[in-house]
Amino acid sequence: MLGRLTLNFFTSGAKSTATEDRRRLILLNAILGAGFLALSAASASAYFSRRNIPLAITDAVFAAFAVALLVFLRTHLRIRMVGVISCVLIFVLFNYLIVTGGDHNTGPLWAYLFPLFSFFLVGGKTAIWLNGAMFLAAAIPLLVPTFALAKYELAFAGRFLGSFAVLSSITYAFEYSRVDAQNKMNAAQKETNDIFNSLREGLFLVLKEGERYVVGTRFSPVTTGFLEELNLAGRDFIDILAHVKPDIDRHTTLQYLELYFSADLDETMLTELNPLKLVEGRLGLAFEFHRVHKQDFKTGATLGVESLMCAITDKTDELRLQRELAAQEHKQSQQMRLLLEILHANPALLGEFVASAMEYENEIAQALQNETGDRVALVNEIYRKVHSIKGDARALGLEYIGEIAHGIEDKLAALRKLPTIEGKDMYAVTIAFGGLHSHLGELKELLARIKSHAAISETTTQTPLTDQIYAVARQLNKSTEKNVAIDTTHFDEAAIPIELARRAREILTQLIRNSFAHGIEAANERAAQGKSAKGKITIATKVAAGVATLSYADDGRGLDADAIKRKAIAAGVLAESDAALLPQPKIFALIFRPGFSTTERADGDSGRGMGMDIVHNHVRAVGGRIRLATKIHNGVSFSFDFPLEKTTT
């Protein structure tokens, strides 16, 4: 506190106070300081040269008051209080001078200073009251001789009081208009600040400093958040931009800003070229520039470009909406595709597909939820089901669903390559599966809508299995560009119990797909072997002694025992040392192992060796038996025996 005593005499640490107070503080400092010196000098002069002891003592007392007030002011900064006390002291001093007459009756002259002191040091109503009091206090000794030690003429008293009244009125008017102007300016300034501070846009000036562009000293509060930088004033604008977006094109941005300072270039045109229209960093920010012209204050004419005003708008939400809209459009186009595919498919088969796919899907969802023990087995199981869904979807021409299922298969195939499958690895599958789930849901919904609009009768009875077989073959003939005929002369659908129908359909779908993919050769290869160009698949049924037999044969290239052995060794299913000794039936049995395939390529129609595994599972589930016969170049045939009394679905 005492440290303030040593501060600059005329400012007295005034930097920390408001404008109006600072003015008073400086004035008080000066007056008290000068008053102390003047009063000390006056006291000395009164004592030494004129031996006016009462005046000398009075001056000395007031000098002491002045120095005490000065110290108090500088230590406590109580500006108004010191102002009022000073005025009261001056009031007393001046009255003393009027009453006593001072040196050579000049005492009253000092009173002319009172309006200045009171209005400048205290101001307002207090100053008016102080002036009124001064006027009355001066009038009494001037007009009534008994109250004064000095002698005053009436004419002098009248002129003195008149001029004092005029002086204090003028001082009041001056001070009043000054304070009024000051208040208006403060209000205007506050308004500007309020507007500036409540801006939602980043706003600041970009100044040109030599070859650099720097940010001005003032910026709207949101600017710091947008630019992720607290200290913006005087910083290089391009550096700050690079902070927001590291790969910003500095050269073009610099050139662009430079163009704004070429006053003859059209500003609208420059706005069009803005390379900072959308700067995508953490936020999406739009920068906009406007020229700030130098102005000749006398003529009001513009004199070239002084700086640029930069406004930043947050476009993050807009950008997000745009992206969402694009995603929505994408989804709609997918739905449209699905819809078109549905319209081309057999409606009755579609209903069945959706029902069975949903059933599979539920099973998979549950398996994923209760996932605990053997993850390899779980992955294999999911794989079989997804593969079935894919096959059926493709067979119906639902390429879109087929693609999604294929995507899930890809993920599962990747999992199967891992040495161990962790719980977290299953997440990706679960997520991908969610996609399939929602698309199947959409499909179901679309189907329901189509049915309600197009009066497609909802078939409660199942589509004949024969129709389904032909539908699959038709689809494959189209997609593989092969020419294969299906012979169902000896196929009697009634021979297959209703509860086995789904399994039979899937077994047949799988086998037909395998025949198209692996068994039946291309036309030229068939011709070279003396086969007819058209391939043939024969499907038949037989019921005897409580056993329903489903048989299937194609006239393709047959199974190649050596190829199967090589593949099994490569897949790690068979040890090389055992391979030579393995009898042929056991070699062929290898194709029913999970994950076995003789084609490396996985596409929509054949697979990654999951097909026969599915077949095997279906047969095993109902306690059936598989028989296989094949001869190289002479096709393959399967027989499935289902015990009729022991069927479960």
Partner 1 sequence: MKLLIVDDSAIIRKAIESFAKDFPVEIVGQATNGKEAVDLFTKLKPDIVTLDITMPEMDGLEALKQMLKINAAARIMIVSAISNNQVVIEALAAGAKHFLTKPFNETTLKAGLQKIMA
CB of 321 to partner 1, least distance (A): 23
Whole-number Å distance between alpha carbons of 644 and 649: 12
CB of 260 to partner 1, least distance (A): 10
Number of residues that bind partner 1 (CB under 8 A): 15
CB of 263 to partner 1, least distance (A): 12
Among 169, 255, 332, 438, binds partner 1 (CB under 8 A): 255
The one-letter amino acid at 153: E
Q: Which is nearer to partner 1, 152 or 260 (CB)?
A: 260
What's the distance, CA 437 to chain centroid? 29
Q: Which is nearer to partner 1, 275 or 546 (CB)?
A: 275
Window 261-290: contact mask with partner 1 (x via CB under 8 A): -x-xxx--x--xxxx---------------
Whole-number Å distance between alpha carbons of 605 and 395: 9
Quickly list DSSP for 30-96: HHHHHHHHHHHHHHHHHHHTT--HHHHHHHHHHHHHHHHHHHHHHHH--HHHHHHHHHHHHHHHHHH
Q: Which is nearer to partner 1, 258 or 410 (CB)?
A: 258
Q: Which is nearer to partner 1, 19 or 262 (CB)?
A: 262
Q: Which is nearer to partner 1, 271 or 649 (CB)?
A: 271
Residues in 35-94 that interact with partner 1 by CB under 8 A: none
Burial (0-12, 13-18, 19+ Cβ within 10 Å), 72 = middle
CB of 214 to partner 1, least distance (A): 20
CB of 255 to partner 1, least distance (A): 4
CB of 254 to partner 1, least distance (A): 9
Whole-number Å distance between alpha carbons of 30 and 11: 9
Say if residues 171 and 115 touch (Cβ distance below 8 Å). yes
Say if residues 579 and 544 touch (Cβ distance below 8 Å). no
CB of 250 to partner 1, least distance (A): 12
Whole-number Å distance between alpha carbons of 396 and 400: 11
Q: Which is nearer to partner 1, 273 or 418 (CB)?
A: 273
Q: Which is nearer to partner 1, 146 or 268 (CB)?
A: 268
Whole-number Å distance between alpha carbons of 133 and 139: 10
Among 252, 295, 328, 584, binds partner 1 (CB under 8 A): 252
From 54-62, 92-100, 258-266, 442-450, give the range in contact with partner 1 by CB under 8 A.
258-266
Does residue 132 touch partner 1 according to CB under 8 A?
no
Whole-number Å distance between alpha carbons of 130 and 87: 8
Q: Which of 619, 615, 614 is nearest to 409 (CA)?
A: 614
Whole-number Å distance between alpha carbons of 544 and 495: 10
CB of 252 to partner 1, least distance (A): 5
Q: Which is nearer to partner 1, 160 or 213 (CB)?
A: 213
Q: Which is nearer to partner 1, 251 or 453 (CB)?
A: 251
Among 71, 140, 259, 368, binds partner 1 (CB under 8 A): 259
CB of 249 to partner 1, least distance (A): 7
Among 180, 191, 228, 249, binds partner 1 (CB under 8 A): 249
Among 110, 112, 174, 256, binds partner 1 (CB under 8 A): 256
Window 103-122: contact mask with partner 1 (x via CB under 8 A): --------------------
List all residues 6 or more positions away from 599 whose beta carbon is below 8 Å from its beta carbon: 517, 518, 606, 609
Cross-strand pairs, 287:
312
Task: Tell me if residue 634 falls in helix, strand or coil.
Answer: coil
CB of 316 to partner 1, least distance (A): 23
Does residue 247 touch partner 1 according to CB under 8 A?
no
CB of 339 to partner 1, least distance (A): 35
Residues in 186-205 that interact with partner 1 by CB under 8 A: none
List all residues 6 or more positions away from 83 whose beta carbon is below 8 Å from its beta carbon: 24, 28, 121, 122
Q: Which is nearer to partner 1, 268 or 420 (CB)?
A: 268
Tokens 């209760």 locate to 370
CB of 267 to partner 1, least distance (A): 11
Window 439-458: contact mask with partner 1 (x via CB under 8 A): --------------------
Q: Which is nearer to partner 1, 259 or 292 (CB)?
A: 259
Q: Tell me the CA end-to-end span of the chain in Å, nearest whole number.
A: 96
From 39-47, 252-260, 305-313, 451-459, give the range in contact with partner 1 by CB under 8 A.
252-260
Strands 535-544 vs 484-487: parallel, antiparallel or unpaired? parallel
Cα dist. 257→228, 252, 274 in Å?
21, 9, 9
Whole-number Å distance between alpha carbons of 70 and 25: 10
Q: Which is nearer to partner 1, 228 or 258 (CB)?
A: 258
Q: Which is nearer to partner 1, 213 or 552 (CB)?
A: 213
SS (H, E, C) 287-314: EEEEEEEEECCCCCCEEEEEEEEEEEEE
The one-letter amino acid at 84: V
Q: Which is nearer to partner 1, 290 or 534 (CB)?
A: 290
Burial (0-12, 13-18, 19+ Cβ within 10 Å), 104 = exposed
- For residues 473-485, one letter each, b for 16 or more C-beta atoms within 10 angstroms of the residue's C-beta and e for the rest, the string is bebbbebbebebe
CB of 287 to partner 1, least distance (A): 14
CB of 318 to partner 1, least distance (A): 20
Q: Supply 498's token pair.
A: 């209703």
From 154-162, 248-256, 417-425, 586-594, give the range in contact with partner 1 by CB under 8 A.
248-256
Say if residues 649 and 499 touch (Cβ distance below 8 Å). yes
Q: Which is nearer to partner 1, 209 or 266 (CB)?
A: 266
CB of 275 to partner 1, least distance (A): 6
Interacting residues with partner 1 (CB under 8 A): 249, 252, 255-256, 258-259, 262, 264-266, 269, 272-275
